[in-house]
Amino acid sequence: MKLCAVGDNVCDCYIDEGVYYPGGNSVNVAVNCKRNGCSEVNYIGVFGDDDKADYIKECLKQEGVTIFRSRKVCAPSAQPRVRLVNGDRVFERGPRDTCQHLFSIHIVPEDIEVIRKYDCIHTSCYSNMEYELETLSSILDVAFDYSDKRDDAYIARTAPYVAYAFFSGSDLSDEECRELIRKTHAYGAKIVGITLGGRGAMFSNGREVVLQGIKKVEVVDTMGAGDSFIAGFLTRYCDKHNLKEALEYASERAAATCQIPGGWGHPHRL
């Protein structure tokens, strides 16, 4: 499988530990797909002009993720502040006016020529790409991480262009999850999945709903676990189109991420 991820990159700044890690939903999914064995992974994002942006790019190079269609702007990198509470990451507001807040990507013909060489596109609600979903979906299947954005208007606006819709729903009941799945399918999404924290995940292909339990491990840091789950699912499902097998693999990959600090390692002193 070959994946192109379009969207956000950040530096997750662990205030108590005095280190930062490369991160961001799109970057995390890209790196994990490459680690999962994807033959080619490309990332298209907006990088700042500071040393943190240089570090993210260097780490992506080390992981085998290409960035040749990314942009560079005159602004600092996004730097969300993070604290760990019993292994669970808790975000605090970081500086504003960063490249992630100020700029979005406009898809141009040169991007399209690159993207069409891949098998799947991934982006998210953090990536400011909603207005480009129609264009992206005309090229390849789009995987979209909604996180906890579940309001009707947002889903109605985006789901018609989404093949793989991923939600976070640890606060939802099973009945509420099934209703969210039904609604998102009705708007056009082919696969709808909801990660439920310690309760596992609930996924649907429109014909069957599959429940997936968690893999119990010693949790070091939950940062990026959901992104690893998405990457694991896409890696396996796009190759074999087996929902249960893909969910089992996704659960294993999320558990592995919970055992390392940061989304995918590479700590750097703040």
- CA 150 vs. chain centroid, Å, equals 16
Cα separation, 60 vs 19, whole angstroms:
18
> Going edge to edge, which strands form the sheet with 191-195?
71-72, 40-47, 2-7, 120-124, 141-147, 164-168, 191-195, 201-204, 209-212
Band of residue 93 on the pLDDT scale cut at 50, 70, 90: confident
Predicted local distance difference test score (pLDDT) of residue 95: 84
Amino acid at 61: K
What's the whole-model pTM score? 0.96
Per-residue pLDDT reduced to its tens digit, 251-266:
999 999 999 999 999 9
Cα separation, 140 vs 123, whole angstroms:
12
State yes or no: pLDDT of 205 exceeds 90. yes
Architecture of the domain defined by 2-269: 3-Layer(aba) Sandwich (3.40)
- CA 224 vs. chain centroid, Å, equals 8
Predicted local distance difference test score (pLDDT) of residue 92: 80
Q: Cβ neighbours of residue 242 under 8 Å, at least 6 residues apart?
A: 236
Band of residue 210 on the pLDDT scale cut at 50, 70, 90: very high
Percent above pLDDT 90 for the chain: 93
State yes or no: pLDDT of 52 exceeds 80. yes
